[in-house]
Structure 1
Amino acid sequence: MELLQPWMMWGAGAVVIPVIIHFWHQKKGQTLAWAATRWLQEKDQQQQRGIKLDNLLLLILRCLLVIVLAFLLSQPVINWLVNSPAVQKIHLVQPDKFLLDNFRFELEDAMKKGEPIYWINASPEPVKSLEERPDGRTVISTTLQSSINALSKDHTELNLYLLNDQRLAYAPFIRVPATYKLHLAANSKSEFVRNYLELPAGKKVFVNPFNQLTTSLALDKTVPFQSAPVHQGPIKVLLDFRNALEQQTVLAALNALSEVYSLVFRIDKKPDSDNNYDWILTDREPEKILSQTLYVVSGKLKLPTVSNVIYTDEPLIPQAAEIVKSGQLPEWLGELFIRHFKLDANLFPLSQKQIDRLFITTADPDANQPEGIRNALFLLLIMLAGVERWIALRKNA
């Protein structure tokens, strides 16, 4: 038997409450003089000693009520009632040398056991040898999600081997199967010199020591920066959407970014061939991809091939995209902005709280469990409560 919410069994400790109440009602009362007692001889009066267990059945019923309620809330699952197939372990690995060195023993052991191992890619690639690591591949959230979707099947345990840094949070969340394990490694040997942007009026945009995007007239003296900005002047943005609602939604998100971080965007709503854009947000396939431009292409179910082109498989409107409906679109665009200009040179590891919030399971682990067990317990609880009330009313206890 397995309990899906085992901590609820602590509620069974409340069984002491009816016991305490029971004995409290039987404590020695105050002696009251009564006229007829003078006819009774003292020798005929017997002293009662010890504990008198009146209404013992009622006490047992009340204790059972508390125990059954705690057991019901702990969501028991009797495994022998269900013929569960064997769970297959699948390992999904980020092709990074530091990560492989950290988990070499676990991965080599999995290979000996014949468990499938894949490199993270939009189409996961089977690992033939840990020494033959793909080169020049940037793992981003969309690539990771595509790999997880391709390998997530029923009765599998997905083991994820990832570098723990801020790049994991470029997406608002990562959906994982109900049965998964995270193996994270934080690389402390990251770059220490950071990039920054210089906007009009001498404003500097950079990531401060608390890993927050900041706009100021002066750089933080506690952090080493590059000698020259990676970009000067306003951020040139092209919004080229055929859907007017999507155009309006993305424009509102950019305005929110501009207001919060004092960013200076110069936004065009029609392409200008004379402009070299820093950021293009569109629902059209780019005809030409420039390395210095960040592309966000919505409504295109396509596998990413370069790190500066981000595809979303749904339009960026509240009716279709959860990221818009939840109000996280400005935050997500801000993370893409930081990554594109490499402002986060120090890739700080995510905290446990951030990791728990980032990885969301796609199914409730007890969704496929039989409901008969919980229904029987609920029926037993009702019956016990009914019998307890019937006896209590009869005995006025």
Structure 2
Amino acid sequence: MQFVEPFLLWGALAVAIPMVIHFWHQKQGKPLPWAATQWLIEKQQQQSRGLRLDNIPLLIIRCLLLVLLAILLAQPILNWFSKPPAIQKVHLVQPNTAVLDNFKFELTAALKKDERVIWATDKIEPVTEPLSLPQQPTQFSSLGLQTAINRVDSKNTELHLYFVNSPVVADVPAITVPARFRLHTVIDSIRQPRPYLVVKNDRKLFVNRVGKLTSVPVLDPTLKFSSTSAYSGPIQTLLNYRNGHERQTVKAALEALTDIYSLDLKIDEKPVPNRTYTWVLTDQPPTKPSPQTLYIISGLEQPARVANVVFTNESLTPQTSERVSTGQLPEWLGTQLLGQYGLDVNNLPLSQQDLKTLFITSTKPTMEQHAGVQNALLLFLVILLIVERWLALTKNA
């Protein structure tokens, strides 16, 4: 017998409560004067000493009631007489060329065995031979993967997941999977060329092989880069704040970025007519935002999601922003700027420990698995309760 909540079985220790009450009740005798006490011999007095168990059936029933209640709360599952169900394999595949090329043999063998092979998309489309990507590919995401897993019947299913090991999968805190599942991951070595920026003194700013942002005179020859830089030359920056303290705080953060990564920031504290700005940091919403400009707007709630407009509902001062008080403002501003040009510092594959933490198995059984034994135990509990009340009233115990 298995239990859904086995730790609740510790409640069975409450069986000691009716025993203690029973023995305590036996000791609560009332002294009655009796004239013939002097004629009792010592032997008979010794035989009457100690605790006597009266109303033993009532004591046993009360103990059973507590034990049975603990078992009911632990939700038992009884599979003694049921045959083990047939396990069906389901293969959930990310629509990706690297996944198809790496697991071509496994997926082809699964199709020959008439096992379900489906794309990890919202539509749950079947994979057919010859293996090829869907005609209308959709963008892969962790939420889409979770939706596809939820649409697969997890009962009596062994789920096999095939996807590219990348930080895209870890966009959510956890992904719930059935108790029987296996991960098949691949690291996509055929990636798009890495973007880079040309900063001061013709230095190159890019994400290196270990996933760190670096600024060096020459690009790493072992990595594949775009033929041209994502941006080169001075970055025209506008600080348009009404609050002078906030302007000084953001300016200090930008100077820290310049010192660390050699960014060539040309900062204006007031708008210059006929000048096009690449980066605008302000506490006022833009009237006509340019798609080529990155806007960082503080002190306002985000009304609508726009790719190049970033809102933060706090003013960027040490008194009003935890990001500023903890010294994280330069890093956060740099992340926003690098994201504008496609430099993602979080592009490394997840470790095996990260994958184990990300995928959480759902071990709770369905209601059909334990509804029968639950109902039987509940009926037995009601019967015992009725018998206990009847014995207690008739024997005045």
Q: TM-score, normalised to structure 1's length?
A: 0.50
CA separation in 1, counterparts of 2:251 and 2:385? Answer: 64
Question: Of the candidates 270, 276, 279, which is equivalent to residue 233 of structure 1?
Answer: 279
CA separation in 1, counterparts of 2:126 and 2:262? Answer: 37
Instruction: Give the unaligned 5+ runs of structure 2.
Output: 188-208, 215-229, 242-249, 266-276, 281-285, 292-300, 317-334
Match of residue 259 from structure 1: 312
Structure 1 residue 201 corresponds to structure 2 residue 239: yes
Amino acid at match of 1:201: L
- Superposed, 1:1-397 pairs within 5 Å as 1-27=1-27, 32=31, 34=33, 36-43=35-42, 45-48=44-47, 51-80=51-80, 82=82, 85-92=85-92, 121-122=120-121, 123=125, 125=127, 139-141=140-142, 144-145=145-146, 147-148=148-149, 152=153, 154-160=155-161, 166-170=167-171, 178-181=178-181, 183=183, 190-193=210-213, 200-201=238-239, 217-218=253-254, 227=263, 232-234=278-280, 236=289, 251=303, 258-260=311-313, 341-345=342-346, 355=358, 365-369=365-369, 371-397=371-397
RMSD, matched Cα: 5.8
| Per-residue Cα deviation, 1:274-332 (whole angstroms, up to 9, x for no partner) | xxxxxxxxxxxxxxxxxxxxxxxxxxxxxxxxxxxxxxxxxxxxxxxxxxxxxxxxxxx
Q: Secondary structure at the match of 1:251?
A: coil
Shift in CA distance, 75/253, structure 1 to aligned 2, threshold 3 Å: farther
Larger radius of gyration: 2
Q: Contact 2:75/2:370 (CA < 8 Å) preserved in 1?
A: no
Shift in CA distance, 232/52, structure 1 to aligned 2, threshold 3 Å: farther
Q: Contact 2:165/2:186 (CA < 8 Å) preserved in 1?
A: yes
Query: CA shift at 1:9, angstroms?
Result: 2.2
Amino acid at match of 1:217: A
Q: Contact 1:72/1:374 (CA < 8 Å) preserved in 2?
A: yes
CA separation in 2, counterparts of 1:364 and 1:162? Answer: 26
% identical aligned pairs: 32
Shift in CA distance, 220/97, structure 1 to aligned 2, threshold 3 Å: farther
CA separation in 2, counterparts of 1:23 and 1:198? Answer: 88
Q: Contact 1:117/1:127 (CA < 8 Å) preserved in 2?
A: no
Shift in CA distance, 367/41, structure 1 to aligned 2, threshold 3 Å: closer
What is the aligned length? 288
Query: CA shift at 1:50, angstroms?
Result: 5.5
| Per-residue Cα deviation, 1:330-353 (whole angstroms, up to 9, x for no partner) | xxxx99x96995554265969799
CA separation in 2, counterparts of 1:66 and 1:215? Answer: 69
Query: CA shift at 1:86, angstroms?
Result: 0.4
Query: CA shift at 1:355, angstroms?
Result: 3.5
Query: CA shift at 1:83, angstroms?
Result: 5.5
Q: Contact 2:2/2:77 (CA < 8 Å) preserved in 1?
A: yes
Instruction: Give the unaligned 5+ runs of structure 1.
Output: 204-213, 239-248, 264-333
Q: Contact 1:93/1:117 (CA < 8 Å) preserved in 2?
A: no
